[in-house]
Amino acid sequence: MTYLHKVINETLRKYPPLSTLHRICTEEIDLPTTNIHVSKDTSITIPVFGLHRDPLIYPDPDRFDPERFNEDKIAARHPYTYLPFGEGPRICIGECR
């Protein structure tokens, strides 16, 4: 990944276009490793801003550090802890992979 990509990703981590994502659960599910049951048709809010500023995921989250997006650091994080454009079938059309 080029340094410019790292800078863009870090900027989107600190300043995501959407602070939350909203989804409707399409089927009953028990979340793994928790005691949480989600019923079908439940409205879910995903706090993107909170995930991106969580110090357990991104140490010193208020510091601008493009090196957070080195290949090894990306591989060490859960893929759904970085969601500047959302994820899944309704991901932003501008997302490049």
Residues contributing to the annotated binding site for heme: 92
Cα torsion for 18, 23, 29, 30, to the nearest 10°?
Answer: 30
CA distance 24 to 41: 6
Binding residues: 92
Close Cβ partners of 81 (under 8 Å, ≥ 6 residues apart): 51, 52, 54, 57
Retrieve residue 93's tokens.
């059309």
What is the rounded distance in angstroms from the CA atom of residue 37 to the CA atom of residue 20? 21
